[in-house]
A and B are shown apart, each in its own frame.
Chain A
Amino acid sequence: MIKIERVSVTYPGGVEALKNVDIEIEDGEFVVIVGLSGAGKSTLLRVLNGLVPATSGSIIVDGTEVVNANSQTLRQVRSKTGMIFQTFNLVNRTTVLNNVLMGRLANVPSWRSTLGLWPAEDREAAMLALERVGIVDKTYVRASNLSGGQQQRVGIARALAQEPSLMLADEPVAALDPVTSRQVMGDLQKINRELGITTLVNLHFLDLAKEYGKRLIGLRDGVLVYDGDINKVTDETFREIYGRAITSEDLHAMNEEQQQSVGNGK
């Protein structure tokens, strides 16, 4: 259960990324967050695990206060929070396995992870995560040798290896083509349904959100402008989130993408 109360974030340069945001998220929900670049989507995800410090307000994640928490508390929260990034954030030079093992860092004593002496149970957890995303055959392959979609699956495996209760996905498909994007979104949806992990996904555009999301949060200039059922989104909502009316071009693009995905088979 996540409770975000009157949270504001102002960056050192003076930019106000979030202004008085209030959100409550139940366990197991699948929430999609949309908005333009700079609307505050990334900031919203990052205050939840303390990567960005909130300037004011309160954030309670599974009963723990995150705002102004000490580093030990933050580490605990983070160990239960998996994060997936737009640019995958993998260590390119090393194997897939070593990347996924990074998800077990909080579980393992520092000296073991520093020397690379991972216990058997953590290796097993990593392998299980790789199997779940269907990429275990690439375990010993160098990360940079994989395609974009495969790299993101490794990113997901890394997050899964943490055995998290919360999954934060920061524009996970922005760097992927439409077909691969749908595969990854489908993976995230399946994880949410099968493992019951609360999932928050940042997306740029509404079309993908409509297909995979149930609940939609819209941000504009750091302000929460929509929070509700994704099917109830109207033109008015669109205008509030993106600052303009939905155009025929948007509709055309949405239709095209739908047709492509249907044609290629999901």
Chain B
Amino acid sequence: MNDSTKTSKRPVKPKPRARSFLIALVLLVLTFWAAFKVSFDLSTFWEVWSNPIWSKFWPIPWDWVFTKENTFDPLIETLQIAVASTLLGCLVALPVSFAMSSLTTPNKVVYFISKTIMNLVRAVPDLFWAKLLVTAIGIGAFAGAWSLSIFSLAVMVKLFSETVDAADPRPLEAARSSGARHLPAVKTGVFPTVFPSYVAYSLYIFELNIRASVVLGLVGAGGVGRVIETQRQFFRFDRILGLLIIIFGIVWVIEQISVSLRKRLV
């Protein structure tokens, strides 16, 4: 072996920063505090199975479930709400998404305003919108359609503006270099590339809206959710369970159709 001056010294293991320990400690304390505040109760995990409430879920009264008034009509209403709100929300989301994308926005003012408005809209929990609109417009499917429109708008804008941001900017440059104004340049240069994604997202949002209308009813906004809420107040969980099974069956069917349609688009 060569002389000792040539051997390399072993490096010292880097010490974890004191700051990381502190953060971890704070998080841990906060977690225990939070658990205390929400009445974390481990016993629930084994008590829940023996609760007498489960008997209320069974047997499922299928004769009640398969009636026009209880299931069929509300489901139709739910579908109608889903179609109308997907349509409205996604339609408005189209120009807003283009305005919000640094690639296609016409100027900084529009960009800034649209981004800010959408950030505020998305900071409101979705059902808060529903409750506000129900209070303003009144109970029923109409309010439900409006709330889901806002919900659709929020989701579509998030998804679609990211797609537009990632779109190939080069055809847009070509359009601009031929002397086109902003809107025609975006329509011919960017739109054809992102449109299939837009349609795919719309189908996805339609699915989401059908599921969402189930919970919308819990705040009075129409559709099958309304029926579920009524039954909940009577503690008829057996009927609710039956309804839910039907609903999720339909959702599953629509999901399969939607997935296959979406595959063909992209």
Contact = CB atoms under 8 A, between A and B. Distances in A.
A211 to B, nearest CB: 27
Most buried by A among B177, B183, B193: B177
A114 B183 contact: yes
A82 interface: yes
A106 interface: yes
A93 B196 contact: yes
Nearest to A49: B177
Nearest to A113: B184
A166 to B, nearest CB: 11
A105 B193 contact: no
Interface string A65-78: 00000000011111
A157 B175 CA distance: 13
B178 A79 contact: yes
Contacts of B185: 105
Given A92-B193, A110-B183, A105 B188 contact: yes
A102 interface: yes
A89 B174 contact: yes
A199 interface: no
A140 to B, nearest CB: 14
Contacts of A94: 192
Interface string B170-210: 11011111111101110111001101100000000000000
A105 B189 CA distance: 11
Contacts of B192: 91, 93-94, 98
Interface in A81-97: 81-83, 85, 87, 89-94
A51 B176 CA distance: 8
Nearest to A162: B178
Nearest to B174: A89
A158 interface: yes
Contacts of A82: 178
A47 B178 CA distance: 14
A101 interface: yes
Contact of A102 (B170, B174, B183, B193): B174
B189 A91 contact: yes
Contact of A75 (B170, B179, B196): B179
A103 interface: yes
Contact of B180 (A75, A91, A159): A75
Contact of B188 (A81, A102, A155): A102
Contacts of A93: 192-193, 195-196
B112 to A, nearest CB: 19
B173 to A, nearest CB: 6
Nearest to A155: B174
Given A91-B171, A110-B183, A98 B178 contact: no
B188 A51 contact: no
A75 B181 contact: yes
Interface residues of A, number: 35
A49 B192 CA distance: 25
A81 B179 CA distance: 8
Nearest to B169: A89
Contact of A158 (B178, B193, B196): B178
A96 to B, nearest CB: 13
Nearest to B188: A102
Contacts of B170: 85, 87, 89
A160 B110 CA distance: 34
A110 B187 CA distance: 10
Contacts of A90: 171, 174
A78 B195 CA distance: 27
A98 B193 contact: no
A76 B179 contact: yes
Contacts of B189: 91, 102
Interface string B204-245: 000000000000000000000000000000000000000000
Contacts of B184: 105, 108, 110, 113-114
A238 B243 CA distance: 82
A72 to B, nearest CB: 9
Given A93-B193, A93-B196, A51 B181 contact: no
A113 B179 contact: no
Interface of A: 49, 51, 74-83, 85, 87, 89-94, 98-99, 101-103, 105-106, 108, 110, 113-114, 155, 158-159, 162
12 contacts: A76-B179, A81-B179, A85-B170, A91-B189, A98-B188, A102-B175, A105-B178, A105-B184, A106-B178, A106-B179, A110-B181, A162-B178
Given A78-B176, A78-B177, A83-B177, 6 more contacts: A75-B181, A82-B178, A91-B188, A102-B180, A102-B188, A113-B184
